[in-house]
Amino acid sequence: MTLQILGFLLTVGILVPVHEFGHYWVARRCGVKVLRFSIGFGRVLWRRQAHPGATEFTLSLLPLGGYVRMLDESEGPVPADMREQAFNNRPLKERAAIVAAGPLINLLLAVLLFAAASWLGVEEPKSVLSAPHAGSLAERAGLRAGDWVQAVSTDGQTWTELQSLPELRWHLMRSVSRGERLVLSVSDRAGHGRRSVTLETDLIPKGELDAQLLKRIGLGLPFSEPVLGQLNPTGAGAQAGLLKGDRVLSVDGVAPSDAAALRERIRAAVDGEQGRAMQWKIERAGQVLELQVTPQAVQSGEKKQGRIEAMVGAPPEMVTVSRSLVDALMGGVERTWEVSTMTLQVFGRMLVGEASLKNLSGPLTIADYAGQSLTMGLSYFLSFLALVSVSLGVLNLLPLPMLDGGHLMYYLFEGLSGRPVSEWWHRQLQRVGAFVLLLMMALALSNDMAHKLGLY
């Protein structure tokens, strides 16, 4: 919990000030004088103001939100010679540039963060597949446990070499978002017997671009040998005589292809309300032993599943993924663009009902992933920051009143009509925007709680 809170505060404490500083920096370049930027709540920690009439930038105790506010007569008289330098009296192009600067600097930051993570390098699982889920696209395509995906292509002619499993997952998500098939160049774990396999990812509706996508395709965890890890001394596995380091050769006469297949066998070993006895053949210290293992039947959702209370699976093979500085920067631009367009696609499909509203995540999910990325290392946390920075930038560009995109919408109307939005319409639209944002926040928080409670 401590890491989650720390990760969340770091994420918001970095991205929100950067967003507001983007507004502030462009305002200063445009010569705006009467403007205030405030970030956070509570006691002011830091203040920057060149002189009493200049733009002001303050950072408060809790950087959990930010706002841009024009100074007006209610806060003291504005000298006549400075009125033309006030934000609302600046040319339309300057106002639009100041408003757009916040989201754009978030997208620029994402490019740099993606590039830094790629340049620093990160340990990731090798693109060797576990057993595909029964009936999935991967199983129908003929993929097997232990297949090593070395390259991908959309046309079978131009190939992109892969270094890790996360890269494969990214290509899968991109092919679904584009409605394309993905061709995989596959070999065995030793690199022999290379062949091409076509995944019909174009058959998956674009509205299903969510957290369950990889499960529908059939590709989940990386390949792991069927070797036992730590066991609970009072669990069913330890009671049956299993020990850490045992390699499972067969269960009821069938050799498990990998740890994922073994876990499925264990979960399915339930008859009614009781676990079903299984005959295991294991290898321990060069000797082959036979044991009878009866999993404990545990309620999981609407049905019971078998559990032996043991870590099942050896650590996957890892590779170091890194790029040169130039390649990392180019990759950062490409990844930021693709995440941005994918985010907009998901928002659009949720709006028209083609994608589930369950895709909307809130602060609890952000805190969870922030904490996990912190434990995994700097590169992972930088990549996570980049993803949230893209989301913040794209969200603020949406044409909703109260967001930067809403102000840009006002300026577009002003540019086309030659007159600003009336005060009455501005108030009404602000109320609508506040209601929509509160609704989105409530929905995101309810989704977070549902995930926590296992309802999704």
Q: Note the pLDDT tens digit of each residue in 153-174.
A: 988 888 999 888 888 988 888 8
Q: pTM score, two decimals? A: 0.73
> Poorest-confidence range of 74-78, 177-181, 276-280, 421-425?
74-78
Sign of CA dihedral 90, 96, 99, 100: negative
Which residue in this structure is represented by tokens 């992972």? 380
Contact status, residue 149 vs residue 217, Cβ threshold 8 Å = no
Would you tell me how many other CB atoms lie within 10 Å of the CB of residue 249?
15
Q: How confident is the model at residue 72 (pLDDT cuts 50, 70, 90)?
A: very low
Is-contact 332 114, C-beta < 8 A? yes
Mean pLDDT along residues 396-405: 86
Lowest-confidence segment of 88-97, 156-165, 233-242, 447-456 by average pLDDT = 447-456
Cα 406 from Cα 425, distance rounded (Å)? 13
What six digits make up the tokens of 131? Answer: 């057993």
What's residue 402's pLDDT?
78
CA distance 210 to 172: 12
* Residue 65, token pair as written in the block: 């939100």
Determine the average pLDDT of the residues in 334-363: 79
- Measured between alpha carbons, how far is 177 from 208 in angstroms, rounded to an integer? 9
- Residues involved in catalysis: 20
| Predicted pLDDT at 36 | 61
What is the per-residue pLDDT for 87? Answer: 67
User: Residue 32 CB: number of other CB atoms within 10 A?
Assistant: 23
Q: Lowest-pLDDT range, 10-14, 30-34, 388-392, 397-401?
A: 30-34
Query: What are the two backbone dihedrals, phi and then psi, of residue 265, each rounded to the nearest 5 degrees?
Result: -65, -40
Q: What's the rounded Cα separation, in Å, for the pair 418 and 289? A: 85
pLDDT digits (tens, 9 = 90+) for 401-430: 878 888 899 889 888 898 888 888 878 888
Cα 285 to chain centroid distance, Å, stands at: 42
DSSP code at position 223: P
The band of 112, judged by pLDDT with boundaries at 50, 70 and 90, is very high
Alpha-carbon distance of 66 to 20, in angstroms, equals 7
Please report the pLDDT score of residue 151 as a whole number.
93
Dihedral class, residue 433 (left if φ above 0, else alpha if ψ from -120 to 50, else beta): alpha
pLDDT tens, position by position, 220-269: 788 999 999 999 999 999 999 999 999 999 999 999 999 988 998 999 89
Interior/surface letters 126-142, b for 16+ CB within 10 angstroms, e for the rest: bbbbbbbbeebbbeebe
Q: What is the C-alpha end-to-end distance of the chain, expressed in Å? A: 22
Whose tokens are 């996508």? That residue is 213
- Residues 125, 164: contact at Cβ < 8 Å? yes
